[in-house]
Amino acid sequence: MTRLKALIFDVDGTLAETERDGHRLAFNRAFADAGLDWYWDERLYGRLLVVSGGKERIRFFIKTYTPCFPGTVCIPGKSDTPVNLPYFIAQLYATKTGFYQTLLKNGKIPLRPGIRRLILEARRANMRLAIATTSAKENAIALLQHTLGPDSPDWFEVIAAGDIVPQKKPAPDIYHYVLDKMALDSSECLVFEDSDNGLISATKAGLTTVITVHDYTSHQDFSDAALVLNHLGEPD
């Protein structure tokens, strides 16, 4: 029987409830800061979560929900103003990241129940740890530092994040990257995810996955998961 050697964690929605009261609020503040009249309410944001990655989510929103031609963005008073769309999205996302990190610094985004205990117990058991997320690396590191302590990013052998691989979840690229960096077989690892995109990504990489659902993902199909839970138990 193969021995478990490593735990691999997704970040957003898995380590912490970052989406509704974290990323969503930061996106809306970035939109207002840019003079845009966009507003992502909780219901709309839930629909946008079918797309992995913040920049990709903005692009999807522009394509799907704004009445402009490709390559344009609706700016109040300047409808159909041509813009360099990749640059515009990158700048908007950078502003959003600043607002998100402010929320983290102010303690507005706590860990989900049981996460701290699980990570500390894994460390005591000399279990190897890794992160596999579509979130920006600076956001993942900031979350770890503000919830687990300044040195906590060093606990994770690999922090695979953002655009480090060609395709984001549900493609398996991010998990293949982690397995390669850790020189481990998929049978030696256990993944913790919260969404169907994350589960599909991990499953395609041959990984066993535990799902912890939340409001945005409780309706999704997790039939390929080894275990589906509401959370990982009570916090310390």
Q: Which domains does the chain have, with CATH numbers?
A: 6-17+110-229 (3.40.50.1000), 23-106 (1.10.150.240)
User: Which of the residues 12, 173, 194, 196 is marked catalytic?
Assistant: 12
Give 169-222 pLDDT, tens digit per residue. Answer: 999 999 999 999 999 999 999 999 999 999 999 999 999 999 999 999 999 999
pLDDT at 235 (0 to 100): 54
Task: Kindly report the average pLDDT of the chain as a whole number.
Answer: 92
Q: Which residues is 228 bridged to in the sheet?
A: 211
Q: Is 173 a catalytic residue?
A: no
Comparing C-alpha atoms, which of 69, 132, 62, 147 is closest to residue 101? 147
Q: DSSP E strands: which ranges in 17-127?
A: 72-75, 78-82
- pTM, two decimal places: 0.88
* pLDDT at position 82 over 60: no
Percent of the chain with pLDDT over 70: 91
72 versus 59: the higher-pLDDT residue is 59
The answer on pLDDT for 89 being more than 80 is: yes
**Active site (annotated) includes residue 33:** no
29-35 average pLDDT score:
96
- Cα 233 to Cα 111, 114, 149, distances in angstroms: 12, 5, 21
For residues 19-38, average pLDDT: 95
How many Cβ atoms are within 10 Å of 215's Cβ, its own excluded? 12
Q: Are 5 and 128 in contact (CB under 8 A)?
A: yes
Of the candidates 10, 173, 194, 196, the residue annotated as catalytic is 10
pLDDT at 234 over 80: no
Question: Is a pLDDT exceeding 60 seen at residue 12?
Answer: yes
Q: How confident is the model at residue 162 (pLDDT cuts 50, 70, 90)?
A: confident
How far is residue 157's CA from residue 59's CA, in Å, rounded to a whole number?
Answer: 32
Kindly indicate the confidence band of residue 75, based on its pLDDT and cuts at 50, 70 and 90: low
Beta-carbon count within 10 A of 70 CB: 7
